[in-house]
Amino acid sequence: MNETLISVEQLSLSFPNHLVLSDLSFKVHRGEFLGIIGENGVGKTTLVRLILEQLRPSAGKINIKPGLKIGYVPQFRNVDVEYPLSIEDFISLNFTGIKLPWLSRKEKAKVQSVIKQVNLDHIAKRPLGLASGGEKQKAYLAQALINDPDLLILDESTASLDPNTKRELLDVVLRLNKELGLTVIFVSHDMQVIHEYPDHFLWLTKQGYTQGPIDELHNDSKEGEYV
Ligand SMILES: Nc1ncnc2c1ncn2[C@@H]1O[C@H](COP(=O)(O)OP(=O)(O)OP(=O)(O)O)[C@@H](O)[C@H]1O
């Protein structure tokens, strides 16, 4: 069994008068591609915020491997057509660590390498505001990759993309998972893609949750969208 990166133990989270997650336990291992599914309001984004340590559990624990680097790709947000930065400049905004007003040679090389990984090299100098929805989402993916994360979290990042563009983005993520061993948590409503890409699932429901290898995800749920 691969190294455990995240271990969630009997986790509960309540907002005032509102229990969202209750007694949830699961692990994420290095190299895993975990799909988290569940209907609207069941607590998927809340779980992501707990993993990102933006929220604290009401009960139970989340153990995160010390020093784990997490890259986060949010839900699609549109960018104004007037947005002035090029795709490559937008991606380089995310460098953490020592900030100089210019990029080092190493940083420049890194930007070029992630741009290639997400297949945006042919339009690297195009203003981000003029890019298509799928290209913008790939730019967010590249931003998340720039600091060499151990774990990539995509929170409904493909929800507003058309089926082909969604697959194109997920194909890139799957390649990074298979070739580089990047660990992935993918939050989605879309049962079809959950069956296709992840190797494990965590299905949150109002009553509780189920989890396991993807081939144990009930086949009745294969049809169409979840909501
Ligand atoms: N800060 C907060 N304070 C109070 N309630 C909240 C807060 N954040 C989320 N909630 C509530 O907790 C529940 C779970 O929200 P969450 O965003 O985690 O659901 P989700 O499964 O990601 O839903 P969706 O698929 O619609 O994005 C919702 O009922 C939401 O209204």
Q: Three-class SS string for 50-90?
A: HHCCCCCCCEEEEEECCCCCEEEECCCCCCCCCCCCEHHHH
Q: Which domain holds residue 118?
A: 76-147
| Distance in Å, CA 28 to ligand 1 centroid | 22
| Contact indicator for 199, 217 with CB cutoff of 8 Å | no
Both tokens of 188, joined, read 């989605």
106 and 200 share a domain? no
Does the beta carbon of 217 sit less than 6 angstroms from any atom of ligand 1?
no
What Rg do the C-alpha atoms of the chain give, in angstroms?
18
Could you tell me which of 22, 29, 67 has the C-alpha nearest to residue 46?
A: 22
| Distance in Å, CA 46 to ligand 1 centroid | 6
80 and 129 share a domain? yes
119 and 156 share a domain? no
- pLDDT, one tens digit per residue, over 96-122 is 666 666 778 888 899 999 999 999 999
Does the beta carbon of 18 sit less than 6 angstroms from any atom of ligand 1?
yes
Phi and psi based region of residue 226 (left: phi greater than 0; alpha: psi -120 to 50; beta: remaining): alpha
Domain boundary at 109, 128, 147, which? Answer: 147
54 and 159 share a domain? yes
Protein residue with its CA nearest to atom 17 in ligand 1: 45
**Cα→Cα distances 35→147, 157, 185, 199, Å:** 23, 12, 6, 8
Does the beta carbon of 44 sit less than 6 angstroms from any atom of ligand 1?
yes
48 and 158 share a domain? yes
142 and 156 share a domain? no
Is the ipTM, as predicted for this complex, more than 0.90?
A: yes
91 and 136 share a domain? yes
- pLDDT, one tens digit per residue, over 125-182 is 999 999 999 999 999 999 999 999 999 999 987 788 888 999 999 999 999 999 999 9
- Model pTM score: 0.91
157 and 169 share a domain? yes
The tally of domains found in the chain comes to 2
Protein residue with its CA nearest to atom 3 in ligand 1: 15
